[in-house]
């Protein structure tokens, strides 16, 4: 399930950010800005949406939409980032979270494309993108690093979901959740 963060989880997320593998972040944000952003978690605002990845009431990671450093994306395009705690990796939680958020963005946020960069050496994340039905669309250099961009369009996602690939996460009234 995906949901908003609790105040204690915001503290935990900041610690995770400070200790993050350099492969997963470009630069450490200011603590105040990070906390302010997570305090409004669960609400899409100006292209930003932060959600806890919940497993039986415990936060095991974070998934977000964000506005890249170079500025606003075209209307209907969302960029996604995800981090799953080490103890919860390899169990499908990242894949499920990505599918839920992708579904919600297409159904309730007028997305036409959802995309995400990752380090080309991040085999686990690349596997998640492949399994959820995203495609490798670009390799590029930014911040003196090579990145790969994965993406899925509304048309591709809808053709996949019509074929039984994923389910709807809910009513659209709040953050996406696992379908019943």
Domains of the chain by residue range: 2-162
* CB within 8 Å of 14: residues ≥ 6 apart: 31, 34, 35
The CATH number of domain 2-162 is 3.40.630.30:
yes
pLDDT tens, N- to C-terminus, the chain (180 residues): 999 999 999 998 888 888 876 656 667 788 998 899 899 999 999 999 999 999 999 999 999 999 887 778 999 999 999 989 889 999 999 999 999 999 999 999 999 999 999 999 999 999 999 999 999 999 999 888 899 999 999 999 999 867 655 443 333 445 554 433
User: Of 51, 55, 30, which Cα lies nearest the Cα of 41?
Assistant: 51
What does the block give as tokens for 158?
Answer: 């809808």
30: exposed, middle or buried (Cβ count in 10 Å: 0-12, 13-18, 19+): exposed
**Global pTM value:** 0.83
């Amino acid at each position: 399930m995906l949901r908003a963060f609790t105040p204690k989880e915001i503290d935990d997320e900041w610690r995770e950010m400070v200790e993050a593998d350099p492969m997963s972040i470009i630069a450490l944000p200011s603590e105040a800005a990070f906390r302010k952003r997570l305090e409004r978690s669960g609400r899409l605002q100006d292209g930003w949406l932060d959600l806890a990845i919940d497993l039986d009431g415990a936060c095991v990671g974070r998934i977000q939409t964000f506005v890249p450093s170079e500025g606003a994306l075209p209307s209907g395009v969302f960029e996604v980032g995800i981090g799953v705690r080490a103890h919860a990796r390899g169990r499908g939680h990242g894949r499920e979270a990505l599918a839920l958020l992708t579904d919600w963005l297409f159904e309730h946020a007028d997305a036409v494309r959802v995309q995400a960069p990752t380090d080309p050496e991040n085999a686990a994340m690349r596997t998640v993108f492949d399994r959820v039905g995203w495609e490798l669309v670009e390799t590029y250099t930014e911040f003196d690093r090579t990145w790969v961009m994965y993406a899925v369009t509304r048309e591709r996602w809808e053709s996949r979901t019509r074929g039984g690939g994923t389910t709807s996460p809910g009513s659209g009234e709040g953050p996406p959740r696992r379908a019943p």
